[in-house]
Amino acid sequence: MATILVTGGAGYIGSHTVIELVKAGYEPIIFDNFSNAKPAVLARIKQICGRSVPFYAGDIRVYEQLAQVFKNHKIDGVIHFAGLKAVGESVKKPLEYYDVNVNGSRVLLQVMSDFGCKNFIFSSSATVYGEPDAVPLTEDSPVKRANCPYGQTKVDVEYMAQELQIAHPEFSITLLRYFNPVGAHESGLIGEDPRGIPNNLMPYLTQVAVGRLECLSIFGNDYPTPDGTCIRDYIHVVDLAVGHVAALKHCLDNAGVHIYNLGTGNGYSVLDMVKAFSKAIGRELPHKFAPRRAGDVVSCYADPAKAKNELGWVATHTLDDMTRDAYNWQKNNPNGYED
Ligand code: NAD
Ligand code: WQD
């Protein structure tokens, strides 16, 4: 079965995808610099898979470190998760985000070209759509200049990869635009473990639930939505991981550019999430309303028909699955992975 390099494979989505790759019979190899992950995740992956997954410590910006993997293994394809992803941090450190996310991706594509590896799957984001003109979003919805450096790096890498495919038509370039990944593997052994105070809603909810944080601030309840809070397409991280296996099956050695929205097609408000999470923990989650957060879009959710029709993939986990599994991970790991 194909050997797949998983950059950022020690991270939240990467680790879940490695599990699904092993289940599907692929041979994943993890490449990660642990800038936003802990080595402990490797043992958890082994515990779930029943075997070790080969691991290389390294930085995607360093050609020789990546090349070493290609010298040691015949890599059939790459799933590229490695990168920085904090919207607020990107505004403060734009050059670091361009260095890692864009330059790092450039080095990776160069190594792939030099070693004859033509299959590239990229972790893109619904953020490339900016403030949607209309929802639900399809893959033909306009890609816009992003409203933060992080989002712009996603737009830039999408274009860079497509330009490579125009110059070298033998490449298979797959752009997976994730909506809002949440939840955790059912075992509770792996999950989302953000550094510092979480920017994202779900880890903030789980940390309030286990007492690491006091109260959720809901950023704005005066939006033009049914309950005044913003709407998002939350998708279980295991559904997202399975989506990568479906994309791999369809796109490996299938030259061209393949773009898919990976979402459920359902939009839930922040208050919907608070209610669902309160149900999961059996008590009302402490929350209060606060001013709007700069950069938030009002409503963003997917039309996932293309992934269903072409990949045969549909998200199957419910909102209750998402909240249950997110809480189960945090309950079992109140401080995240140990150092
Ligand atoms: P994450 O931070 O958990 O995983 C990223 C991994 O990449 C980490 O393990 C980190 O150590 C590694 N990494 C970072 N810089 C590196 C470098 N220079 N060299 C090698 N490894 C490096 O993030 P995630 O939530 O798993 O996201 C994975 C990808 O999906 C990212 O590219 C992110 O932008 C994208 N994405 C995430 C979301 C989301 O909400 N989580 C949504 C859309 C897209
Ligand atoms: C969801 C909703 C907040 C925290 C971000 C990135 C995006 C992608 C996914 C990487 C919003 C509200 C949140 C809190 C709140 N990441 N919220 N209180 O902003 O949709 O997307 O993560 O690609 O690029 O922008 O997700 O979880 O931060 O927010 O009220 O403490 O929850 O205002 O309406 P978002 P989020």
Consecutive H or E run containing 90: helix 87-92
**Contact (Cβ atoms closer than 8 angstroms) between residue 68 and residue 58:** yes
DSSP class of residue 137 equals B
**pLDDT value of position 1:** 87
User: How far, in Å, is the centroid of ligand 2 from the Cα of 206?
Assistant: 14
Distance CA 292, CA 323 (A): 24
Q: What is the pLDDT of residues 289-338, one digit of tens each?
A: 999 999 999 999 999 999 999 999 999 999 999 999 999 999 999 999 99
Query: Is residue 53's pLDDT more than 90?
Result: yes
For tokens 């039309």, what's the residue?
A: 303
Could you tell me if the CB of 87 is within 6 A of ligand 2? Answer: yes
Mean pLDDT value across the chain: 97
pLDDT tens across 2-46, in order? 999 999 999 999 999 999 999 999 999 999 999 999 999 999 999
Q: Which atom of ligand 2 is nearest to the CA of 231?
A: 34
Within 8 A by CB and 6+ apart from 335, the residues are 212
Determine if ligand 2 sits within 6 Å of the CB of residue 132.
Answer: no
- Return the ligand 2 atom nearest residue 181 CA: 9
Q: Per the structure block, which two tokens stand in for 63?
A: 């050609």
Pocket residue to mutate for ligand 2, from 100, 150, 270, most atoms within 8 A of Cβ = 270
Q: Which atom of ligand 2 is nearest to the CA of 127?
A: 24
**Amino acid (one-letter) located at 275:** K
| Best of 81, 193, 261 for a ligand 1 pocket test (most atoms within 8 Å of beta carbon) | 81
Residue nearest to atom 33 of ligand 1 (CA): 85
Q: What residues pair up with 300 in beta bridges, in sequence order?
A: 232
Ligand 1 midpoint to CA 91 (Å): 17
- Burial degree of 127 (CB within 10 A; 0-12, 13-18, 19+): buried
* pLDDT 10s digits, 172-216: 999 999 999 999 999 999 999 999 999 999 999 999 999 999 999
- Collapsing DSSP to helix, strand or coil, 110 comes out as helix
Question: By alpha-carbon position, which residue is closest to atom 34 of ligand 2?
Answer: 230
Q: How far apart are CA 222 and CA 160, in angstroms?
A: 38
Task: Name the residue of 12, 61, 63, 78 to mutate for ligand 1: max ligand atoms within 8 A of Cβ.
Answer: 12
Counting ligands in written order, the one closest to the CA of 337 is 1
> 336 CA distance to ligand 1 centroid (A)?
16
Our answer to whether residue 56 is catalytic in this structure is: no
Nearest CA to 267 out of 234, 316, 240, 307 is that of: 234
Angle between helices 40-49 and 12-23 in degrees, nearest 10: 20
* Cα 218 to Cα 287: distance, rounded to the nearest angstrom: 7
For 276-286, the pLDDT digits (tens) are: 999 999 999 99
From the list 97, 98, 150, 260, the catalytic residue is 150
Which residue is closest in CA terms to ligand 1's atom 41? 181
Check if 33 has its Cβ closer than 6 Å to any atom of ligand 1. yes
The whole-angstrom separation of Cα 51 and Cα 144 is 43
Q: pLDDT tens for residues 238-278?
A: 999 999 999 999 999 899 999 999 999 999 999 999 999 99
83 within ligand 1 shell (Cβ under 6 A):
yes
